[in-house]
Amino acid sequence: MKRNGAQVIVEALMKEEVDIIFGFPGGSVIPLYDALYETKEIKHILTRHEQAAAHAADGYARATGKVGVCVATSGPGATNLVTGIATAHMDSVPMVIITGQVPTHMIGNDAFQEANITGITYSVSKHNYLVKRVDELPSVLKEAFHIATTGRKGPVLIDVPKDVLTGETKVPYPAEVKIRSYNPNYKGNLRQIKRAASAINKSEKPIIYAGGGIISSEASVELIQFARQAGIPVTTTLMGLGAFPENDKLSLGMLGMHGTRYANYAISETDLIIAAGARFDDRITGNVSEFAPYAKIIHLDIDPTVISKSVRVDIPIVGDAKNILSQLIPLIEKKRKREAWHARIKEWKGKHPLKYQRGGDLKPQYVVEKIDEVTKGEAIIATEVGQNQMWAAQFYQYTKPRTFISSGGLGTMGYGFPASIGAQIGCPDKVVFDIAGDGSFQMNIQELATAVNYKIPVKIAILNNGYLGMVRQWQEFFYHHRYSQVDIEKGPDFVKVAAAYGAEGIRVDKTEEVEPALKKALDIPGPVIIDFRVSREENVYPMVPAGVALTQMIEGLA
């Protein structure tokens, strides 16, 4: 049966079981929007900016485990997606991005709204395509979904010229896909797995270092079983929060620059690191030459390029974390005591809990603790980037995967609010909070219109300190309090902004107002902004300065 290119895309979305897409129309994608007009199986969410469409698709993918899909027109529409694509690429989020392009005969002629989006996104996407013939479109779409959702997941862009959207084809949508040059290894080498098991059984001071790959591969259950059976403490990356329950006695919380003191001390004294689905990025290792100086390292990851990329690895295992952990579990000695190691960790936990100075002005950490308490730890927390992100990571206890949604690798300001919209659409029965900074929230504040229009009940908790807080903190610590271009105290009245968009707004100035405000917000069926006017110069502690060992932490006053 003949279909035009736009109809082929709609057919592909339906066959790939995509029921939600995010986007913003424009001239070159009008044929696609005309085809979408004919279907009720796919709901299109009209964001107010293309960057927000990408972040919303990203948040949807992280919260649900499904592929996120977004659409934009050619030229500026496509380039507005780039930050969102790069964000997803750094954090290995499965997305398919469809962009319009000028007709094929006009490509390279500087036509109106032309941009070489495949060239622009080459380094920030897992793969991309420029489709020049409509007959190629069905196989390209099938490949794109396959590549995005397999191996180390990531965003795949398909650039479709307008004449390809309107051209007709009889080529059917493929039932299967095989790509000769792309065959991710899922199983793991049995010999290496046995070597790893032997090293674990001999270790006196082991530690599990779990990253976002555990969540991506749905391996949280296996991780918990493995850790508890072996009696090994677990620390996670920012992206790994929720992979292991933080209320478990084996949990060390987050590692690294703003991780717990006891996680950083433990990684610095361990004799064996079992790294699972993590990539040893600079925020984790600090000074690489001083990272885990006494440890052998087992590194299991589906992406062979990250193994030994940053740190030396003794036992590499390439494969899917879920499969490898399942193979390791029967080989591991059960509940080996390691009493001295656990006693050491208990001592660190007792001496160095996460803390902040209570009393006085409203503290942002207290707000996060109250969100945890009021939601009973069951909410999905999206964050912006900066201090708000770190306080959300530190003071909310994550016990389940896919409940912490944040831009880890790229650190994208403006990410959290549209991502929370995507997460809420994907998980309509969940409470979703965006824990935001007043600077970051304003970068995609226009998405209040999206939330109001679709009655999306996200709750935005703005930790409003009137600063670009994390930059100010660095200027305080390392630039002698020379605060340059970080004071944004004369910002908008967020309660009035909420009202202007048709949302609800609540302002909180005092500690005793926090809990009633949160409960009130949860009782309101639509989107709510809660403007928490917090202590202006509160800092995130602990902090490991860039380029030093993890043990050299700056600690605030208790």
44-64 pLDDT per residue, tens: 999 999 999 999 999 999 999
User: Which amino acid is it at 75?
Assistant: G
User: What is the rounded radius of gyration, in angstroms, for the C-alpha atoms of the chain?
Assistant: 24
Backbone angles phi, psi at 97, to 5 degrees: -115, 125
Residues 6+ apart with CB under 8 A from 305: none
Backbone angles phi, psi at 450, to 5 degrees: -65, -45
What does the alpha-carbon distance between residue 43 and residue 190 come to, in Å, rounded to a whole number? 45
Query: For residues 165 and 36, is the Cβ–Cβ distance under 8 A?
Result: no
Q: Within a 13 Å sphere around the CA of 506, how many CA atoms are in the beta-carbon half? A: 21
Q: Could you tell me which of 205, 162, 2, 148 has the C-alpha nearest to residue 73?
A: 162
Class of domain 364-533: alpha beta
Chain region(s) in the chain for CATH 3.40.50.970: 3-169, 364-533
- pLDDT of the residue at 557: 61
269-296 pLDDT tens trace: 999 999 999 999 998 999 999 999 999 9
Pick the CATH number of 190-350 from 3.40.50.1220, 3.10.20.30, 3.40.640.10, 3.30.365.10: 3.40.50.1220
Across 398-423, b (16+ Cβ under 10 Å) vs e yields: beebbbbbbbbbbbbbbbbbbbbbbb
Active site residues: 50, 112-113, 162, 470
User: Which amino acid is it at 275?
Assistant: A
Residues 6+ apart with CB under 8 A from 304: 185, 316, 318
- pLDDT of the residue at 558: 46
- pLDDT of the residue at 122: 97
Chain region(s) in the chain for CATH 3.40.50.1220: 190-350
What does the alpha-carbon distance between residue 106 and residue 114 come to, in Å, rounded to a whole number? 9
Which CATH superfamily, name and number, covers 3-169? Thiamin diphosphate (ThDP)-binding fold, Pyr/PP domains (3.40.50.970)
Query: For residues 100 and 78, is the Cβ–Cβ distance under 8 A?
Result: yes
Strands (DSSP E) contained in 85-163 are: 95-101, 127-130, 155-161
Q: What is the DSSP letter of 554?
A: B
Q: What is the pTM of this model?
A: 0.97
pLDDT along the chain (558 residues), means of 10: 96 98 98 96 98 98 98 98 98 98 96 97 98 98 98 98 98 95 94 98 97 98 97 97 98 97 97 96 92 96 94 96 97 90 97 93 98 97 98 98 98 98 98 98 98 98 98 97 97 97 98 98 98 97 94 82
